[in-house]
Structure 1
Amino acid sequence: MNQSVILAGRVLLSAIFIVSGFGKLTGAEGFAGFLSSLNFPAPLAMAYLVGAFELVAGLAVLVGFQTRIVGIALALFCVATGILVHAGDQTVLLKNIAMAGGFLVLAGSGAGSIAIDKSRRESRYA
């Protein structure tokens, strides 16, 4: 597959998590209020954990670091979030399911050659 297409896919898949994770970290109190309304335990701590996970995982996908592991983690996160938070909104639920599919494809194919994963593999054998 064209390596530029894989890179474009990583950029597109990562964008929502980088932006959302940053937003959750900078507005943790507001997100914690939302989590509290859903009866999540320790909503402020959960807000920071979710925000950090989204930001770090999004950046990892963007640069192609540990892509297979992060792809699986984000696929599970998308399905869990869809079911736990967005089950009442079919459009958002299906968006989460579709993103999970994209992350599973990324986990199966790997980051491609334009990625930190590729650089690390090459430096290991040099």
Structure 2
Amino acid sequence: MSNNVITLIARILLSFMFIFAGFGKLTDPASTAGMIAGAGLPASTALTYLAGLFELATGLAVLVGFQVRIVGWLLAVFCVFTGVVFHLSPVNVPDFPAAANGWINALNFVNFMKNVTLAGAYIMLATNGAGAYSLDARRGAYATA
């Protein structure tokens, strides 16, 4: 299998999370707005919609291979930021048993590690470009690193 086919498959897989997460935030913002408010950030509903638009737009850009070098860096920064702000600190849900809070914290740390790992994948995408099967290639903007 050629590197361009593998890059296309990788782009498809890397796009799904942000397309679906962005769509979810735009259609049902309540849980994300609560998480943002819980982190102490202001204007949680507005930030939820901004995050949803960002995730949907960047996910679609990765999927079709448009401006992937720029979008890859943006998503890498986004993954590290959201990992640190929302998944690194301990969670304590009032009235939950200690074991349940421990389980939630373990899952939260897994999400932190997922974000850091995805940042690495997006840096690799930003560095290597979208590949031959992309809008970048059709526009003449594709070049290997």
> TM-score if structure 1 supplies the norm length?
0.92
- Report the 3-state secondary structure (helix = DSSP H, G, I; strand = E; otherwise coil) of the residue aligned with 2:131: coil
Larger radius of gyration: 2
Distance 1:71 1:45 in 2: 24
CA displacement at 1:40 relative to structure 2: 1.1
Alignment pair present for 1:100 and 2:119? yes
Show the counterpart of 2:44: 43
Structure 2 unaligned regions, length at least 5? 90-107
- 1:44-123 correspondence runs (5 A): 44-88=45-89, 89-121=108-140
Q: Which has the higher helix share?
A: 1
Structure 1 unaligned regions, length at least 5? none
RMSD across aligned C-alpha pairs, in angstroms?
1.2
In the comparison of the two structures, how many residue pairs are matched? 122
CA displacement at 1:121 relative to structure 2: 0.8
CA displacement at 1:75 relative to structure 2: 0.2
Q: Please say which of residues 30-39 and 41-50 is displaced more in the overlay.
A: 30-39
CA displacement at 1:54 relative to structure 2: 0.3
Off by >2 Å, runs of 4+ in structure 1:
none
Q: Give aligned-pair identity as a percent.
A: 47
Show the counterpart of 1:26: 27
Distance 2:47 2:79 in 1: 16
